[in-house]
Amino acid sequence: MKNSKSERRKTMNVRFFVLLCCISFLLFNSGIPVWAKAPSTAKIVFSSNRDGNWDIWTMNPDGSNPVNLTRDASADFSPVWSPTGEQILFVSFRKGGESLYLMNADGNNIRKVLDNWHSRSSATWSPDGKRIASVSDAVLYIATIDGKSVEPVAQTGFGSVGDPAWSPDGNQIAFIYYKRKQGHELRLLNVQTRKQKVLLGELEKYPYKSHSAWSPDGNQIAFVLHKFRAIQNQADAIAWQDEETIYLINRDGSQLRKLVSEKGPDALRPTWSPDGDEIIYQQEVRGFTQLFKIDVRSRAKTQLTHKGHNSRADWFDPAALPVQPNVELLTATWGKLKQK
């Protein structure tokens, strides 16, 4: 009897081990972040060369506790939090060429995504974490993380596109259409129908636009406006930078208003706080690009970084996640498997 019970235990242990191996294999090959863990407190991820090389860093919302996540000899930049905060998508020149990479929130498990893609940049996550939108060769693509589905959704014959931003409800992607020698347009792409809507066209006073970002509630878009049509000399270049700043506009194209004062160097790359009360942006200070945050209502500004160049920030706060698990998010898949 003892031998029989012992054999049964061994058989059960072997079966359990095999089951775990199968589950792990399926999860890792599907691109699901099995052991990834989101930060327990709010964090800002950004690019910085303060240590002599462009790396991906995190810091607290007040600028304290900066941590270098990548420490790679190549340039890493443009980090974006996944919707659950468990992963960070970023652009890197490692292994030659500009490509998209994915890593856990703590900087571990760095791997290239979309292996067959080259020169991919300006990435944005879908709200459910299943897809990304990215730009390559002046074309906007939507793709799954595993690269099995890649679809061009916005392309132009006589210009280019850039700076995509996926709306919080998942229905639209804001992007900039760069018209050759004719200024820029802020457009909205319907994800389902692929139809485009010009939200803000070429205004005589504000011909150039860039860097769109949705508010968390989806009602507003922050972006950059450039007032000058063309640069003819050095004086024009300085004036261009002094007049390049951040504006807000409603989702329906109404109520265009300035957020950051035009006094001083250009203000670029706005990113909203998860609660929608503040916006992070970058601006030059004594020859170095630094990160600031501004209160959307009071317009009070706070400088967050002071050393080296710092840019392209993104903000995550676990307090902003839904109380009930979102079955559309990637991590929900692991929960379902554990229940079976």
Quick one: 214 exposed, middle or buried, by C-beta within 10 A (0-12, 13-18, 19+)?
A: buried
Please report, for residues 68, 213, 303, 308, the alpha-carbon distance to residue 53 in angstroms, rounded to integers and kept in the order given: 11, 27, 22, 10
As a residue count, the chain comes to 340
Q: Is residue 46 within 8 Å of residue 311, measured between CB atoms?
A: yes
Q: Which whole number is the average pLDDT over 107-125? A: 80
Decide which of 119 and 301 is more confident: 301
Q: What is the pLDDT of residues 280-293, one digit of tens each?
A: 999 999 999 999 99
Q: What pLDDT is recorded for position 237?
A: 59
Q: Is residue 62 within 8 Å of residue 76, measured between CB atoms?
A: no
Residue 334: phi and psi, rounded to 5, are -65, -40
Look at the block and give the residue holding tokens 């292994």.
Answer: 95
- Retrieve residue 265's tokens: 């160097």
| pLDDT surpasses 60 at 240 | no
d(CA 311, CA 227): 22
Residue ranges in the chain assigned as alpha helix (H): 2-29, 234-243, 331-339
Q: What pLDDT is recorded for position 209?
A: 82
Decide which of 57 and 203 is more confident: 57
Q: Which whole number is the average pLDDT over 41-61? A: 97
Q: Which whole number is the average pLDDT over 15-24? A: 44
Q: What pLDDT is recorded for position 155?
A: 74
Q: Which whole number is the average pLDDT over 239-249? A: 76
| pLDDT surpasses 70 at 171 | yes
Q: What pLDDT is recorded for position 25?
A: 43
d(CA 164, CA 306): 28
With residue 93 as reference, give the H or E element that holds it. none
Q: Which whole number is the average pLDDT over 259-281? A: 92
Provide the pLDDT confidence category of residue 143 given band limits of 50, 70 and 90.
very high
Lowest mean pLDDT among 163-167, 176-180, 279-283, 322-326: 322-326
Q: What pLDDT is recorded for position 28?
A: 42
Task: Tell me how many helices (H) and strands (E) the chain has.
Answer: 3, 24
Please report, for residues 2, 13, 21, 156, the alpha-carbon distance to residue 9 in angstroms, rounded to integers and kept in the order given: 11, 6, 18, 64
Mean pLDDT, rounded, of the chain: 82
Amino acid at 257: R
Q: What pLDDT is recorded for position 119?
A: 57
Q: What is the pLDDT of residues 295-340, one digit of tens each?
A: 999 999 999 999 999 999 999 999 998 765 454 454 433 333 333 3
Q: What is the pLDDT of residues 66-78, one digit of tens each?
A: 999 999 999 999 9
Instruction: Please report, for the chain, the start and end positions of each structural domain, with discontinuous segments joined by +.
Output: 1-30, 36-113
| pLDDT surpasses 50 at 93 | yes
Q: Which whole number is the average pLDDT over 11-25? A: 45
Strands 131-136 and 76-81 turn out to be unpaired
Decide which of 152 and 155 is more confident: 152
HSE (CB half, 13 Å, CA atoms) of 247? Answer: 21
Q: What is the pLDDT of residues 190-223, one digit of tens each?
A: 999 999 998 876 654 566 788 999 999 999 999 9
| pLDDT surpasses 70 at 99 | yes
d(CA 167, CA 149): 20
Q: What pLDDT is recorded for position 266?
A: 87
